[in-house]
Amino acid sequence: MKALSLAKLPELFSLVASKEALYIPADDGAGSARFTRYTEGLEMTDKLNTVRSAKDFFFPQTENLVDFKLKGKEIEISDPRTEHEDFVLFGVRACDARSFQILDKVFLVDPVDTYYQSRREHGTVVTLACTKPEETCFCSVFGIDAAAPEGDARCFIEGETVYFEALTGKGEAFLETVSPLLTDSDDSAVKAQQEKTREILQKLPLKNLSLEGFGAENLLKLFDSEKWAELSESCLGCGTCTFVCPTCQCYDIRDFDTGNGVKRFRCWDSCMYSDFTKMAHGNPRVSQLERFRQRFMHKLVYFPANNDGEYGCVGCGRCLAKCPISMNIVKVAKALEGEVR
């Protein structure tokens, strides 16, 4: 394990930023945290998590896919991409780190999404262990250990020291970059911190959420549950849950006529929206009930059915904090418990 004095963290940031792009979670001036490109003087937030997840860095909210030029009846197609820059995403929490693996299961399976793949290849994820998980956190339900996050490298801030540990080749390369600043250290302080954090995790109110029975075997039973009507009744269809969610990955593809050619772009979309499935001849999901049900069925039943039981949720708690009508995946799972027991 490597160590650095906390006071020297800005020096580490400067060193990293001198070689490649660096993003750290920082206060946005309005009381919220977001991943921000590091410039001299930017300080890392002490907030537990960013309002938006870190998925933007691999699956940005909008991105240009293809360019077209139209001339009479002729069309010219070009790939607008240039080589993506290397970047370090620093201070990612355990929940978001897991979400990348879930997104990988969508974008990196055949046929590989090369837009996403390129960003994944160029990005190094340095995670930060949680020490103060909040009441909305339930990552442990998904087997995530907030005290020992996954990632290319991970760090632990304990007292006045930051401890580093590489987990992949990319993580080792990162530590190599900053090695002039690091000293060797034992892991006793980290072990003690992890023990304390795990004690807190054990006391969190949502840690006992059970998802037993949420699988392909109960797909139709859960789909046909009468509970959906009540659960979805107040849903505004605003899509906030999908936009803050680290694992929501549905997207739209649209064209924008710039006046000098057409840019085809993709952008985040939401199954909570009425036009998500709307076709010229009608809409198979006629009301908010069907749209609401789709989102939760996908995360709790359909995705695991296709991915060896892995749920499409990491328990980050963002949807719990942000839903304007206080509906969320925990309430849904609890309400449906009776259907699969």
Partner 1 sequence: MNAETLIPKLGVVTDIRIDTPDVKTFRVVGLDGKKVFEHMPGQCAMLSIPGVGEAMFSITSSPTNTEFMEFSIKKCGCLTSWLHAMDVGQQITIRGPYGNHFPVEDALKGKDLLFIAGGIGLAPLRSVINYVRDNRQNYGKIEIVYGSRSKDDLVDYKEILDEWMQDDGITVHLTIDQPQEGWDGHVGFVPNYVKELQPDLSYTVLMCGPPIMIKFTLAGLKELGFQETQVYTTMELRMKCGVGKCGRCNIGSKYVCKDGPVFRFDQLDELPSEY
CA angle, corner 169, sides to 165 and 171, nearest 5?
Answer: 35
> Closest distance between partner 1 and the C-beta of residue 245, in Å?
12
> Closest distance between partner 1 and the C-beta of residue 51, in Å?
23
Residues 125, 114, 39, 177, CA torsion sign: positive
Longest dimension (CA), the chain: 71
DSSP 178: T
> Closest distance between partner 1 and the C-beta of residue 248, in Å?
9
When the beta carbons of 35 and 228 are compared against partner 1, the nearer one is 228
> Closest distance between partner 1 and the C-beta of residue 170, in Å?
23
Q: Say how far apart CA 164 and CA 183 lie, in whole Å.
A: 10
Q: Say how far apart CA 194 and CA 157 lie, in whole Å.
A: 11
> Closest distance between partner 1 and the C-beta of residue 75, in Å?
4
When the beta carbons of 93 and 299 are compared against partner 1, the nearer one is 299
When the beta carbons of 7 and 253 are compared against partner 1, the nearer one is 253
Q: Which residues bind partner 1 (CB under 8 A)?
A: 65-66, 68, 70, 73-75, 77, 79, 106-107, 110-115, 216, 219-220, 223-224, 249-253, 255, 257, 262, 264, 266, 269, 271, 276-281, 284-285, 290, 294, 297-298, 301-302, 305-306
Q: Which helix (H) or strand (E) holds 227?
A: helix 227-232
When the beta carbons of 18 and 258 are compared against partner 1, the nearer one is 258
Q: Say how far apart CA 333 and CA 335 lie, in whole Å.
A: 6
224-to-47, 277, 339, 340 alpha-carbon distances in Å: 40, 20, 10, 12
The two tokens of residue 73 are: 């009846």
When the beta carbons of 41 and 284 are compared against partner 1, the nearer one is 284
> Closest distance between partner 1 and the C-beta of residue 301, in Å?
8
When the beta carbons of 103 and 167 are compared against partner 1, the nearer one is 103
Contact, 125 vs 92, CB < 8 A?
yes
